[in-house]
Structure 1
């Protein structure tokens, strides 16, 4: 396990911290506490953090443009105005299924948004992965227990996703122009104990940075699934990373206290906090969501 310079970005303890992303234009990081219906906004230049209360269980978002975001929630996709937080339903998503909610999501270089759903109690194979491509929502994969690690190669030709229920990271060939699959998924990494494969992001060199839930670390894999390194995170239930900073050299990592009893919390004093790891990586900006063919 490798130690790198690490700071606490936000000391507020997230019940289920998830879905971090970074807007380089405003030097602002965003992430969620899914269970508590909160959206965090951190201005990295000033250190100011604002916590927005939500009426839905938000889990991820993508930037549409300088004024709007597409927020993924338990009953649909919402266009959110960054100026005042006003949200308008854009597309329902499993709104007729009270047993599921949204989870992991990330934007493909083409602007297509991949979005995962899962059972609210992580019921076996109740989840799915969808793609929002130019305004049209389609289901890509079914019978997934906990969708995670949705991310893409820099050139958009490879997609990755995990089913944490199987503790397996999959790789699939994509049409780079659409972000849609053109082949069948194949298992890339399967973990045997020591924590679960959770959220992930890909850097400019194609390396996969994957949070290990229950393992208190970020594992780095090659595009061929070779383990490169493991970086310690101060909270055991590390959940998802995102590259931040104007040079994308640092890693924001969320965590959670979900499912921990009092003894587990005492043994993990930084549980639920949000961290910045100085990893000296070559990260890359997140693409904007494209809602139409324009």
Structure 2
């Protein structure tokens, strides 16, 4: 386990903090409390944190343009007006499935979006991973229990995803121009020998994959081929997803959760649900806007 100073970026404790996304144009970090139907917004250059109530569970966000964001929600992809907060359905996905919700997501370098769904009670193999690009939605992978770790190589030629329940990370060759898979997934990390589960990930400009290990309270760095480089201890056990922040994408923030913790567990893990920042220089990347 390697050392890196970690501090609290947001004291707001989320039941299920997830889906952090950074907007370099406004130097603002967004993330979600999925189960409480909240979107959190924190200007990193100074300003008050805002908590926006949502009418649906949402789990991820991507920039569209100065005025709009794309939200991944339990009923599909919705456009959010940044000024008013108003939502407009863009593409229904599993809207007829009240037993499922959205989970992990990330823009592909071409401007496509991969996003996952899962059972609200974690039902086995209920989830899937979808692709959205210029108005079209396709299902890519089915029979996934908890889809996570969606991220891409810098050139867009490789996509990554995990099933946290299986504790396995996969990679798949992609068309860099569209973000569509062009081959079958390849098992990259078999995580059953390690504590916790493979949760959210980002990949930096050097091809290092940074993964939050749910239940293990750490951030792991992996090579593109699945070799563990280093592990950094974090102050909460149920960490969920990292994100590059700063206009140069040179720092990492990580969300966490207190989901399913009783009073004794919360007392033993007092930082659970908070959002952290690492004092660690990284060669990160900024996500592109999603193309509608």
TM-score, reference length from structure 1: 0.98
Contact 1:15 1:256 in 2 (8 A): yes
Alignment of 1:15-54 (within 5 A): 15-54=15-54
Alignment of 1:265-280 (within 5 A): 265-280=266-281
Q: Which runs of 5+ in 2 are unaligned?
A: none
Matched, 1:173 2:179: no
Classify the secondary structure of the residue corresponding to 1:111: coil
Contact 1:16 1:258 in 2 (8 A): yes
- The runs of 4+ residues in structure 1 deviating greater than 6 Å are none
Alignment of 1:37-116 (within 5 A): 37-116=37-116
**Change over 3 Å in CA distance of 1:69–1:60 after alignment to 2:** same
Q: Which runs of 5+ in 1 are unaligned?
A: none
Contact 1:16 1:256 in 2 (8 A): yes
Classify the secondary structure of the residue corresponding to 2:46: coil
Contact 1:71 1:79 in 2 (8 A): yes
| Partner in structure 2 of residue 286 of structure 1 | 287
Classify the secondary structure of the residue corresponding to 1:121: coil
Deviation of 1:29 after TM superposition, in Å, equals 0.5
| Partner in structure 1 of residue 243 of structure 2 | 242
| Partner in structure 1 of residue 9 of structure 2 | 9
CA distance in 1, matches of 2:114, 2:175: 14
| Partner in structure 1 of residue 212 of structure 2 | 211
Deviation of 1:47 after TM superposition, in Å, equals 4.4
C-alpha distance after superposition, 1:259-282 (max 9, x if no partner): 111111111110110111122000
| Partner in structure 1 of residue 148 of structure 2 | 148
Equivalent pairs counted in the alignment come to 291
Q: RMSD of aligned C-alpha atoms? A: 0.8
C-alpha distance after superposition, 1:196-237 (max 9, x if no partner): 000000001011000000010110000010000011111000
